[in-house]
Amino acid sequence: MNDHQIQEPERLGRTVLPGGRALGWAEWGPEDGVPVLLCPGAATSRRLGLGVGRPGRDGGLGDDPVAGLGIRLICLDRPGLGVSDPAPEGTLTDFAQDVRHLVAERRLRDPAVIGFSQGAPFALACAWAGAVRAAAVVSGSDELAHPGLAGMLAADVRAMVEAVATDPRGAEADVADRADPDVLCDLVVRLSGETDRRFYTAPGFARPFRRAVREGFAQGPGGYAHDVVLTMSRWPFDPAEITVPVDLWYGARDTSPVHSPDLGASLARRIGTARRHVVPDAGGALLWTHARAVLTALLERRGHALAGG
């Protein structure tokens, strides 16, 4: 686990959307591969890909699930993060429309999407809007403001949800005032269990992770603060209306209070197309520790969707 390495992107760019805003992206894998969009975690820039496991004996990249499965991985900077232009009034469903335009502009045929941690509601919005053909949520933030989860939330998370509901602009300003990339990275480690802590602090991951979060803050804290409010508010779409296949992945050792308090069980019941996986020996970092399993299942679900299954 400690030998996991994050590769540098093979291609970088920005795509201009209708209205003039641009979304930044980074790519790995063959340009003619199956397009898989990645909505990364909180404040994380486009540069944090899935990486590889232990390097090969010849010094090569070893077990690279992206190239090995023929995937064209496209990691997106959300508005206000990294090099993507801000959208101060943007919603989750507005982001889905941004993705629809990006897919058309870049001619990405029948893409799938992965949402990790805070990126999960953005990926599910894309699934709800029909902008993708399949979705995977990995260690995903649930609809924390849903009344059915209120009794399960940690006290500080419940307080934040209530603050956002009472005064979203004030809550956003408060998050922006306190936000700092290094503090956020330290918080992720502190809230992690032993399994994740070992992974997140290993040099092969810790350095690129911290760099990606600092890049996420390149325009200031506004993009991250807005994302916090969006993901801690009621979602502007009904997950029950999602018709594309969705896989929900959680690690049984995930201790993050801002993912899902029941490891996606209630969310799986709300999404009729959902298939839930709980990996016994994994924590919240299973996007990297179990990348091949996540990607293989996603390709399978996308293939069934394209075949009408």
Q: What is the mean pLDDT of residues 196-215?
A: 95
User: Mean pLDDT, the chain, as a whole number?
Assistant: 94
Residue 253 gets which letter from DSSP? T
308 phi/psi in degrees, rounded to 5: 85, 15
With tokens 């970092």, the residue in question is 285
In sequence order, which residues have a C-beta less than 8 Å from that of residue 169 and are 6 or more positions away? none
Residue 2 counted as domain residue: no
Amino acid at 62: G
Query: Which residues is 274 bridged to in the sheet?
Result: 246
Residue 59 lies in a domain: yes
Residue 59 has pLDDT above 50, yes or no: no
Condensed to tens digits (0 to 9), the pLDDT of residues 269-304 reads 999 999 999 999 999 999 999 999 999 999 999 999
Structure pTM? 0.96
* Residue 1 falls inside a structural domain: no
136, 246 contact by CB (below 8 A): yes
Please state the rounded mean pLDDT for residues 122-139. 98
Residue 55 within any structural domain of the chain: yes
CA distances from 210 to 45, 127, 157, 186, 198 (A): 10, 29, 24, 9, 15
Q: Is 145 domain-assigned?
A: yes
Q: Which residues contact 177 (CB under 8 A, 6 or more apart)?
A: none
Residue 144 in any domain: the answer is yes
- How many domains is the chain built from? 1
Model pLDDT, residue 5:
87
Q: Tokens 């889905």 map to which residue?
A: 96
Closest by Cα among 91, 67, 38, 47 to 227: 91
Q: Are strands 22-28 and 71-76 parallel, antiparallel or unpaired?
A: antiparallel
Phi, psi of 115 (to 5 degrees): -120, 120
CB distance 3 to 54 below 8 Å: yes
Which domain CATH number covers 249?
3.40.50.1820
Residues 62-89 pLDDT 10s: 578 999 999 999 999 999 999 999 999 9
CA distances from 28 to 47, 291, 298, 302 (A): 10, 14, 17, 19
Look at residues 157, 103, 168 and name the one whose alpha carbon lies nearest to residue 130. Answer: 103
CB distance 136 to 50 below 8 Å = no
Whether residue 3 lies inside any domain: the answer is: no
Q: Which two tokens stand for residue 227?
A: 């994302």
The Cα 24–Cα 124 span in angstroms is: 20
Q: Which of 45-54, 111-120, 224-233 has the weakest average pLDDT?
A: 45-54
Q: 23 pairs with which residues across the strands?
A: 15
Provide the 3-class DSSP secondary structure of residue 19. coil
Do the domain assignments include residue 5? no
Print the domain residue range for 173: 11-306
Output b/e per residue, 179-200; b: 16+ Cβ within 10 A.
bebeebbeebeebbeebbbebb
For residue 202, the model assigns a pLDDT of: 93
